[in-house]
């Protein structure tokens, strides 16, 4: 149900973005914007120890969401603070009996509008947390740690009024947590490197001030 809802949301959002009626858009230096986005993400988690990769989740489909607050430095560059979240539950994945994954990343971002229009590129360097749990044959392993996060986006925004814009963006998020202690489900813990990567397709609504 959630997946179908997100697909419908993306389709409607892309259609609105492509057919917006308000043609003029001004991004003067010092202006503020606030945006909220929602979409679908495809994640992959790997756990590596000294012997190599010990676990690979395969593709995980989940929900993505977030917000950002930007201040225009010029008509083509904005600086902001972004938050990105993701959650997924797979009851019948190919490798494990069940996989639950969540992450969040927050940090400063820089957006570039190369044509001074709606097309943009955005990068983020921040900090985040990962909560990842797998079950196999009644044995569970879980990590809940924080670490460095990077994100990049390419998208397009379309103004529909002086104060409101709609848009869509393709996101990539990279989370790395070094030397995490992973429970082996039988009382023991071992050190490992945890890497989580996600691609996401999101629609957003932006308020211009």
Read off the pLDDT of residues 42-56 as tens digits, 9 standing for 90 and up.
888 777 766 666 666
Q: Give the model's pLDDT for residue 64.
A: 93
Q: Give the model's pLDDT for residue 200.
A: 92
Q: What three-state secondary structure class fits 73?
A: coil
How many domains does the chain divide into?
1
Structural domain boundaries, residue 118: 2-208
Q: Give the model's pLDDT for residue 52.
A: 64
Q: Give the model's pLDDT for residue 163.
A: 86
Which residues of the chain register pLDDT less than 50? 1, 21
Q: Give the model's pLDDT for residue 68.
A: 96
Q: In 3D, which of 134, 132, 153, 154 has the Cα closest to residue 143?
A: 132
Give the domain CATH number at 15.
Answer: 2.40.160.20
Q: Give the model's pLDDT for residue 1.
A: 47
Q: Give the model's pLDDT for residue 89.
A: 82
DSSP string, 163-197: SEEEEEEEEEEEEEEEEEEEE-SSS-EEEEEEEEE
Distance of alpha carbon 199 from alpha carbon 195, whole angstroms: 14
State the CB neighbour count (10 A cutoff) for residue 209. Answer: 8
Distance of alpha carbon 194 from alpha carbon 192, whole angstroms: 6
Four-residue CA torsion sign, 69, 74, 76, 79: negative
């Amino acid at each position: 149900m959630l997946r179908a809802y997100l697909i419908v949301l993306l389709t409607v959002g892309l259609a609105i973005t492509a057919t917006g009626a308000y043609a003029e858009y001004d991004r003067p230096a010092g202006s503020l914007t606030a945006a909220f986005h929602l979409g679908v993400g495809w994640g992959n988690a790997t756990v590596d120890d000294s012997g190599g990769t010990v676990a690979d989740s395969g593709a995980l489909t989940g929900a993505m969401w977030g917000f950002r607050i930007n201040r225009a430095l010029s008509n083509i560059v904005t600086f902001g603070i972004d938050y990105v979240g993701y959650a997924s539950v797979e009851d019948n994945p190919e490798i494990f009996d069940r996989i639950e994954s969540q992450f969040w990343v927050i940090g400063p971002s820089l957006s570039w509008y190369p044509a001074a229009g709606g097309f943009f590129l955005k990068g983020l360097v921040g900090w985040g947390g990962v909560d990842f749990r797998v079950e196999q044959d009644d044995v569970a392993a879980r990590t809940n740690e924080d670490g460095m996060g990077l994100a990049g986006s390419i998208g397009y925004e379309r103004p529909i009024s002086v104060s409101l814009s709609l848009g869509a963006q393709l996101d990539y998020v990279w989370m790395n947590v070094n030397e995490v202690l992973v429970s082996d489900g039988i009382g023991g813990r071992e050190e490992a490197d945890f890497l989580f990567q996600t691609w996401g397709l999101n629609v957003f609504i932006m308020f211009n001030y």
